[in-house]
Amino acid sequence: MKAAQWLAGVAFAGLAAVAAALVSQYRFDIQPCPWCVLQRVIYVAIALACLLGLVWRSTWGRRIGAGLGLLLALGGAAAALWQHFVAAASASCNLTLADKIVSRWLHLDTALPSVFEARASCADAAVNLLGVPYDVWSLALFVLMALALWRVLSTAGRR
Mean pLDDT of 48-77: 94
Mean pLDDT of 22-30: 90
pLDDT band at 105 (very low <50, low <70, confident <90, very high): confident
Mean pLDDT of 81-101: 76
**Secondary structure of 85-137 in HEC code, one letter for each residue:** HCHHHCCCCCCCHHHHHHHHHCCHHHHCHHHHCCCCCCCCCCCEECCEEHHHH
Distance in angstroms (rounded) separating the CA atoms of residues 9 and 11: 5
Domain 3-155 has CATH 1.20.1550.10: yes
pLDDT band at 29 (very low <50, low <70, confident <90, very high): confident
Distance in angstroms (rounded) separating the CA atoms of residues 100 and 119: 15
pTM for this prediction: 0.88
Domain coordinates in residue numbering, the chain: 3-155
Average pLDDT, the chain: 87
Q: Alpha-carbon Rg of the chain, whole angstroms?
A: 16
Count of beta carbons in the 10 Å neighbourhood of residue 95: 11
With beta carbons less than 8 A apart as the criterion, state whether 22 and 157 touch.
no
Buried b (16+ CB within 10 A) or exposed e, 129-156: eeeebbbebbbebbeebbebbbbbbeeb
